[in-house]
Amino acid sequence: MSQAKTQAVEPDDVGRLRDRRLRASERGRWRAVEEAFESGLRNHWYAVAPASALAGANPLALRRMGEDLVLWRDAEGGLRLFADRCAHRGARLSLGAVVGGRLCCRYHGWAYDGTGQCVAIPSEGGACELADEARVRAYPVEQHGGLVFAWFDDDGRAPKRACPNPAELESPEWSGFIVPHEWQGVGWFRVLENLVDPIHAPFLHAGTYTMGHGALQDVIAVEDRPDGLFVKREGQELVSFDYSTYHFPNWCEVDVPYPWSAGPGGAMRVLVFVTPIDAGATQIYMVRKRRITGWKWWIWRALWHLRLRRKMYDVLDGDEAALTSQRNRAALDGEFLAQSDLGIVRMRRLFADAHDRRAR
């Protein structure tokens, strides 16, 4: 994580959070922003699946960004992501099969190449003029470190930004696991807020490994760094989940301290990629990494399967209980923020700015 000038708690943030009148107006503004982006913010890359989920030849049905999608591999092994809706009469293409490097609809056999172009209509004799006019929506995809990312645009143009590819994903110096997790009843904003809210750890995760360690009282500071929004507890570092770097709009880096009993490698770095399934459900991919190789990696791998994975699920169970209990957008009703919510305020401001830019 790069260093940059500290922009700690600004007086206006503290004032904003203490002034109930202002807080109410900011809340109303945020509700409109959240409704506009409830199924995702377009023109960004999102993690959509681990590549290992597509192990066989069959296409894979996914729901991401409020859309039904189908992921498949063409004849060269390239990943393709289409809208899961045949151009003919709307059947799901994920019910079909990949034949000769083409995705073929199960209903009447229309066949599509990797770009989404229909190339054969069997009932019309195969390749024909009618096929030239039919196509399905195809989204650009990239694969990094075993994760498949897709660019979701709203104008059909090529990606305007580089796909997230932090060093930990592909560097041979880092070893680890991809852990997918799906939350039903939880919108993606509740998940993002949880990730920029380090003070929840000693309360919600009290008793769950190192996450419950440390003081219950602290001040939250936020730094605008070139690579993201750095949200930290001022009073302690690497005692519990004490800081995170938020990369707008949809992923975070978090360090979780590990004691010597967790094996070599020091703290575990967790890259969390957050993807809306739709307005009321969220998919996350946690890439859990330590900077170790060789025999150290094998020790950690063994400890992970024996003990540490269970501890991770204890933490996730706590998050799941709290986040589902918020009843998604109902959490905003009468919301009463404190100084410890500064990371949430700053993150929301980035979305509000994006909303304003769209309105212009």
Binding residues for ligand FES (CB under 6 A): 86, 88-89, 91, 105, 107-110
Which of Fe ion, ligand FES, none interacts with 89 (beta carbon under 5 to 8 A by kind)? ligand FES
* In the complex, least distance from residue 48 CB atom to ligand FES, rounded to whole angstroms: 23
Nearest CB to ligand FES, comparing residues 66 and 109: 109
193 binds Fe ion (CB under 5 A): no
Nearest to 8 by CA among 224, 274, 297: 224
Nearest to 142 by CA among 273, 34, 253: 273
319 binds Fe ion (CB under 5 A): yes
* In the complex, least distance from residue 148 CB atom to ligand FES, rounded to whole angstroms: 24
Token pair, residue 72, equals: 């498949």
* In the complex, least distance from residue 305 CB atom to Fe ion, rounded to whole angstroms: 22
* In the complex, least distance from residue 231 CB atom to Fe ion, rounded to whole angstroms: 14
Q: How many residues bind Fe ion (CB under 5 A)?
A: 1
Which of Fe ion, ligand FES, none interacts with 319 (beta carbon under 5 to 8 A by kind)? Fe ion
Nearest CB to ligand FES, comparing residues 117 and 339: 117
Paired with 121 in beta bridges are: 126
Tell the burial category of 66 from Cβ atoms under 10 Å away from its Cβ (0-12, 13-18, 19+): middle
* In the complex, least distance from residue 115 CB atom to ligand FES, rounded to whole angstroms: 17
Token pair, residue 26, equals: 């900011």
**Interface segment toward Fe ion; rule CB under 5 A; list 12-20, 154-162, 268-276, 312-320:** 312-320
Token pair, residue 120, equals: 């054969």
Report the distance separating Cα 154 and Cα 238, nearest Å: 40
Nearest CB to ligand FES, comparing residues 93 and 229: 93
Contact 219, 234 (CB under 8 A): yes
| Host H or E run for residue 76 | none
CB atoms inside a 10 Å sphere around CB 129:
8
Give the footprint of Fe ion on this chain (CB under 5 A).
Answer: 319
